[in-house]
Amino acid sequence: MSVTVRISDDALALACGADAVAEAFRKAGCAVERTSSWGMHWLEPLVEINGDGFGLVMPGDVPAILAGASPKAIGPIARHPFIAGQQRLTFARAGKTRPLDLADYANTGGWAGLDRARRIGPEQVLAEVIQSGLRGRGGAGFPAGIKWQTVARAEADCKYVVCNADEGDSGTFADRMLMEGDPFQLVEGMAIAAHAVGAGQGYIYIRSEYPHAIAKLEQAIALAGERIAPFRIEVRVGAGAYVCGEETSLLNSLEGKRGEVRAKPPLPALEGLFGKPTVVNNVLTLAAVPHILAEGGAGQYERLGTGRSKGTMPVQIAGNVKHGGLYETAFGVTLGELVNEIGGGTASGRPVKAVQVGGPLGAYIHPDQFDLPFDYEAFAAADALVGHGGIVVFDDTVDMAAMARFAMVFCAAESCGKCTPCRIGSVRGVEIIERILAGGRVADSVERLPQMHNAAKTPRDAGGQVALLEDLCDVMKSASLCALGGFTPYPVMSALKHWPEDFGIRASEKASA
């Protein structure tokens, strides 16, 4: 009797050698099924046989696994602490279904949300999405139902639904995992949104660095066919500009223009793609919709979470961490739990020094703040960002001054150039940080910062430079046209606030600046 072996064809699993492992099992006479990823990335390639898992499998491990004598056995995957502790709604199928199998999708509740949406009508769909408390999972956390309602009420001869799949933040991979592992769910979510607002055309704007996701989506759209008709979806591939993750830059790029931020108003909900009312939502936002509509606005989704942060968040744990992967849980879990208990602390075994949440422009959070609940309001109160839910862990060897400088360098490199605070402020920010470092540690400044501008090599008063940096960051936060310039101050000021010694500044000196 042939043994059925299940191995993910997720891009991360492929990078770790999953194809070679699958071929080794085939040569041993096994039937091999390629599935979505469970999200336990530190164990890839992960093999499942009759529900039992084997982690970090290499082709040479196959004979021992089939003989029942492998030291790489981890027991039933569904009962593994990393999986059992989650509250999976958006990623309920992760690891369990074949990505492009329509029967797998339908047998696990697929299309139930779309079918119910069509039965209850657009007005009720809008009401239930608002009732659920779903907020945008791409960064700002704006209520999705309110955005949809604005588009629905706008008068126009055509409307659009655009999925922002330009996942470019460091430490984030949930969009990629969902598009590769459960593409029909995104297609269904977009079809529900189109039904609610009266849109006939949808676009998925995806970064070119995701070739596997692009291929899966194109196949899924073709297979869905009449299931979502008359709604149509096209995949459009971006060219790698970080700023195109901002919705108006994305719309410009979709129109064939330079990826440049638009001034608001008008809002895209009123004048978006080609000047028409447009829903622009992130992958995770749209993928949450089928579950919400299948259960109703007052279902499980609305009951999970805390305060105005409703439902679950697929948290992406990355960086110097022992158990990196995707962990979907209700809002309200503390950052300390995510890093130390779920993530297992640092992979290096050294103490955690900092955690960046929300991508390269998110604040650096000190371990003293690890009691911070993971929700939008708590993070905003702490001058931090939930963003796309990415967590990047650093141990005590990281130089936080270098990380602050990198934030400004990154902003300067990725700025679209439309507004002065971002375009010029980021360049001036690099220079000021270099002057702070030169003033605080004159002896090693040239060796330590080989790319330092000549003008920055002259020591300056550190306190005065800190005050100048704070003023610059205030201007960037309040006057930049989009979040690229507006959020860059978060990593800079949090690094300076919590680790002044890395800048060569005594805490007392920083406090008196």
In angstroms, the CA 69 to CA 408 distance is 53
pLDDT recorded at residue 141: 85
3-state secondary structure of 92: coil
Length of the chain: 513
pLDDT of residue 453: 44
Residues 6+ apart with CB under 8 A from 341: none
The stretches in the chain having pLDDT less than 70 are 1, 440-462, 506-513
For residue 126, which phi and psi values (nearest 5 degrees)?
-60, -45
SS (H, E, C) 211-262: HHHHHHHHHHHHHHHHHCCCCEEEEEECCCCHHHHCHHHHHHHHCCCCCCCC
CATH numbers and ranges of domains, the chain: 4-84 (3.40.30.10), 102-303 (3.40.50.11540), 306-395 (3.10.20.600), 400-512 (1.20.1440.230)
Evaluate the CA torsion angle 462, 463, 469, 473 in order and state its sign: positive
For residue 4, what is the enclosing H or E element? strand 4-8
Exposed / middle / buried, residue 198 (Cβ in 10 Å: 0-12, 13-18, 19+): middle
Residue 72 in tokens: 């790489």
d(C-alpha 253, C-alpha 330), whole Å: 34
Helix (H, G, I), strand (E, B) or coil at 11: helix
Residues paired with residue 8 on neighbouring β-strands, in sequence order:
35
DSSP 334: B
Dump pLDDT digits (tens) for 428-470: 999 999 999 987 543 333 334 344 444 444 444 667 899 999 9
The DSSP H or E segment spanning 8 is strand 4-8
Phi, psi of 74 (to 5 degrees): -120, 5
How far apart are the C-alpha atoms of 102 and 391, rounded to whole Å?
Answer: 33
Phi, psi of 35 (to 5 degrees): -120, 180
Residues 6+ apart with CB under 8 A from 80: 40, 53, 74
Characterize 70-106 residue by residue with b for buried, 16 or more Cβ atoms within 10 angstroms of its Cβ, and e for exposed: bebebeebeebebbeebbbbbbbbbbbbbbbebebbe
Q: How far, in whole angstroms, is CA 508 from its chain's centroid?
A: 37
DSSP 106-123: HHTTTTHHHHHHHHH-HH
What confidence score (pLDDT) does residue 458 get? 41
Q: What is the rounded CA–CA span in Å between residue 413 and residue 231?
A: 38
Kind and range of the H or E element at 477? helix 462-479
- Residue 185's alpha-carbon distances to 111, 189, 310, in angstroms, are 8, 6, 20
> Beta partners for 352?
395
Q: What is the pTM of this model?
A: 0.93
What local confidence, expressed as pLDDT, does residue 507 receive?
Answer: 55
